[in-house]
Structure 1
């Protein structure tokens, strides 16, 4: 059973830095083929906001996995402060992007990878910082939780990357690995500082104009 984090002593200076890994390769099939990385958010491509959140939340370096319309994303978005990797098999699902992203982190010296999704603008720096804080207290498999339910971002210690990549398939990403290793998982409650909604369909686009807003029919 996953356990919930609690206050602990100050972080150890021996812990290696956390790399941010942003999965931004999706083609937005349910959005009519509009790549999610290029959706407008406060006048800029959505990918810029997601990458900034990782950096400001405490991740360094930050790597971004691109896929659909990768050339257009590089042209329109200011990603100069980040490393990018391209997933030619992005249409095969999130698992392929996770593998590309973890491979790109080899040699960075990072002690962990914090994985975030480009289409969740309701998750900000506070949630990222809380997950990193759990790692700094000694955990190496951590996920944000919302009302006790696992969500993003998710952090994997470097020793786990090979196994995570091996099990990543389709749109399940690391779900199978997390389920198999639930006993090791530290959940960090973030419902008070973030909202884990996705921008998946045209009905969700209103959230880009008003982050945190609720649908009139939500909850019915």
Structure 2
């Protein structure tokens, strides 16, 4: 187990939302009466992380109001892992025992699941991913001994291989819903009978 008080939460909110269409940021779209990208921040607000940082670019959400340090990713297109590296760099500089990488477009992640990731971490070399029982996904925990390895990643396949080789904590598939398209957001709204769902 790695203590939450020694762990940095890095919330990735810097994507361009290309699959969502020309809307600015999908994270500003409303879901259950608050911006889609704010749900994880609010859900984890009382978890006593060593530090919480939001890697942002383009969305209008005030993560600072929820005790996040804002780290702008001015060039999120340079490669898919750029925001991850910014979060891991912050965790390394803070002397954290681990970093948890979470995505702002996964609005149903729970604090209970985050604690389960921490419980499954067996030391500084830990890599612990979430899973729906078929494949791993974020949120993902990296122990401090893996920070340099993560920072060296430039290829998506290297990241996937690293995560596949780690420990996987299975949770309800609906908790790991990742909203990438307008259709997926509408399906999620319908699933939970959100007031924004189309009639």
Give the 4+ runs in structure 1 shifted more than 6 A: none
State the match for 1:77 in structure 2.
Answer: 62
Q: d(CA) in 2 for partners of 1:52 and 1:188?
A: 22
State TM-score, norm by structure 1.
0.74
User: Matches of 1:84 and 1:162 in 2, distance apart?
Assistant: 22
Name the structure 1 match of 2:176. 196
Taking only aligned residues, the RMSD between alpha carbons, in angstroms, comes to: 2.7
The correspondence of residues 161-176 of structure 1 with structure 2, limited to 5 A, is 161-169=147-155, 172=156, 175-176=157-158
1:56–1:131 distance in 2 versus 1, CA, 3 Å: farther
User: What is the CA–CA distance in structure 2 between the aligned matches of 1:168 and 1:55, rounded to whole Å?
Assistant: 31
Equivalence for 1:24? 13
> Gaps (5+ residues) in structure 1?
1-10, 214-220
Listed as ranges, the matches of 1:69-148 within 5 Å are 69-70=58-59, 73=60, 76-80=61-65, 81-135=67-121, 137-138=122-123, 140-148=126-134
| Structure 2 unaligned blocks of 5 or more | 194-199
Q: Name the counterpart of 1:46.
A: 36
> How far apart, CA to CA, are the structure 1 residues paired with 2:50 and 2:22?
31
Cα distance in 1 for residues equivalent to 2:50 and 2:26: 23
Give the C-alpha shift of residue 105 in structure 1.
Answer: 2.5
TM-score, structure 2 normalization: 0.80
